[in-house]
Amino acid sequence: MTAPAPKPWIMGIAPYIPGRSTTDDGRKVAKLSSNENPLGTSPAGREAFTSAAGRLERYPDASATELREALAERHELDPARIIYGNGSDEVLHLAAGAFAGPGDEVIYVRYGFAVYEIATRRVGATPVIAPDKDYATDVDAILAAVTERTKVVFVANPNNPTGTYSTREEIARLHAGLREDILLVLDHAYAEYIEGDAEDGGMALAARASNVLVTRTFSKMYGLAAERIGWGYAAAPIIEAMHRIRLPFSITIAGTAAAIAALNDRAFVEHTREHNARWRAWFSEEVGKLGNAGLRAVPSQANFVLVLFEGKLTAEAAYKGLMNAGYIVRWLPGQGLPHGLRITIGTEDETRGVMAALRELAGA
């Protein structure tokens, strides 16, 4: 008897591997592997989540009306052009599912977010990887990779796992170089961490262009990773197409309530941003002092730093050594970075501690 056979492109998918939370021997230690908010969740968001417990027997609003209206008010957007999903991951999958398929190509950058390849292969499209420019997005390389079969381009800005950032001018040039029938997806999962007024203009592009989708999440800055609330903004025809394949109840009542409250807790957001900027700068500077030992910090605009190991100490050895010292970080051989560790900016104690462990491992 022959068993059902999955589509060949499904078997080509390497399953997503999340950041670990325990050591090889089962110890729970400082988790700096998943870019979670080290300061926790907005108190207002936590209270709203708890208050929603009395409605667990009800289905959530399939239209997410309150969430869309809150997002529209905060970002000055049209609520009808907002889509939502189970984390921004679902929104990214919806983009690929609505606009690409067998015979089509989807472009993303080398060292890009792992979900892009999964979303591409899941619909039978062909992944096309654009070379990087010293771990950063190379606009010219992306444009050179475009063919008549290109349907979607994914760009994370800031990028994950490198933390690198493309300027407003670079994003505008990328968009101007793409055909109008190619969907440009700007993944803004870490946009709230960008310093100053250096945002890339993506939301304004999505407001006026017919082929730009911006995605965002409540998992990082807002500390709601457990509730999986993501959203996106684009022209009405793009959103309408994505709605046709969206899960009808992809976000929960409690998660929605927490997201709306967290969105309006500006004090918590500013505190998180200031904490991250301070300790990201300190950590990057301290890694820079280990240059003689072959360590290098890639400039980051996110809530993590990619540390490269280009000397005697390898990333694998450092990964295991940090784990023994009580810190779990993200080693990335599966993303073409066997020589890199992505390290989340934690609390002050965690950041100082992981840096002290790195110094010891490097012999400094």
Per-residue pLDDT of the chain (364 residues; tens, 9 = 90+): 788 888 888 888 777 777 666 667 776 789 999 999 999 999 999 999 999 988 888 999 889 999 999 999 999 999 999 999 999 999 999 999 999 999 999 999 999 999 999 999 999 999 999 999 999 999 999 999 999 999 999 999 999 999 999 999 999 999 999 999 999 999 999 999 998 767 889 999 999 999 999 999 999 999 999 999 999 999 999 999 999 999 888 899 999 999 999 999 999 999 999 999 999 999 999 999 999 999 999 999 999 999 999 999 999 999 999 999 999 999 999 899 999 999 999 999 999 999 999 999 998 7
The DSSP code sequence of 153-166 is: EEEESS-TTT----
CA 79 to CA 65: how far, in whole Å? 8
CA 31 to CA 227: how far, in whole Å? 18
CA distance to 245, 320, 364, per residue, from 324 (Å): 45, 6, 18
Count of H helices and E strands in the chain? Answer: 13, 13
Number of other CB atoms surrounding residue 316 within 10 Å: 14
CA 304 to CA 135: how far, in whole Å? 15
